[in-house]
Every structure is written in C-alpha cells, then in structure tokens.
Amino acid sequence: MTQLVTVLKEVYFLESREYENVPSQALELYSRRDELRKYVINLNQTVYYYNKIRETVLEVEYPLIESQLTDIDRKLLQAENSLTWNSEGTAATQKKRFMWSSKLQFDFDLIAIQLSKVTKVTVTSPTSRSHASLFST
C-alpha cells in the first residue's frame, strides 16, 4: 500500500513538472487515483478496526467472538488472494468490493456491540463487583 501511495505522489510531481517520460503503467495507476484512494482509505479503516478488536479483547471475551474473528480472518485471507490494485474497475467488481467491505465493517460493529454488552453486564452484575474495577477508567 505504501508503494502505491509513493507511485501516485511521484507521478503527480512528475506531471506537475511536465516531465514527458513517465512510464505508462504509472500513468495508468495515476488515472485511477480517486478509485485507488478510496480503496486505501477502506483498507486503512479495515486494518484499524481489526487491530483494535484484536488488541482490546479480553481473554474472557475471546470465546464469545472467536467464530466471528475466524470468519473475518478467512475473509481477509480470501481478499489478500483475490483483490489487487490492478483488478478491473468494472461496476460489478466495485460493487463486490463495497459489499465485502460493508460486510466486514458490519462484523466489526457486531463484535464491538457484543463486547460492550459483556462489559456492561460484568460491571453491573452484583455477583461480579470485584471485576468492576477492570472496566473503569
């Protein structure tokens, strides 16, 4: 992803200086910069939510969301093997990417809701008062 951003910046710089020998592959990528920028933003968002869940889930919460995380890992692996920056930008492909990222975002939201419910129940439960300090800040 960093290489893609670097190429786009370099082509922008070369074009602004009216450099004539920009490689055709770089120009083709640059012509799709708006589309690619959306993909980079989406990918960064996906990475953020994935890491946030992986880093903040408590050991006692993990079994509650383990199957969902396994499903997300499977989807991410599938995307790593099938989606590229050079995939055709047809409407069907774009719709597939959007639906995939929307579903993944929905999965993250669902996990966050489940974890917040677990936290709320744990904190307010009279039988678990000793655990309340774990969740207060």
- Residues 52, 2 share a domain: no
- Residue 116 phi/psi, 5-degree rounding, is -70, -35
- Residues 129, 112 share a domain: yes
Nearest to 4 by CA among 47, 38, 36: 36
**How many structural domains is the chain composed of?**
2
Q: Span 122-132, mean pLDDT?
A: 46
Note the pLDDT tens digit of each residue in 7-65. Answer: 888 888 888 888 888 888 888 888 888 888 887 887 788 888 888 888 888 888 888 88
DSSP string, 89-133: --HHHHHHHHHHHHHHHHHHHHHHHHHHHHHHHHHH-GGGGGGHH
- Residues 50, 89 share a domain: yes
Q: Which domain holds residue 4?
A: 1-31
- Residues 41, 15 share a domain: no
- Residues 23, 47 share a domain: no
Work out the pLDDT band at 117, boundaries 50, 70, 90.
confident
Q: How many CB atoms lie within 10 A of CB 105?
A: 14
Work out the pLDDT band at 99, boundaries 50, 70, 90.
low
Work out the pLDDT band at 132, boundaries 50, 70, 90.
very low
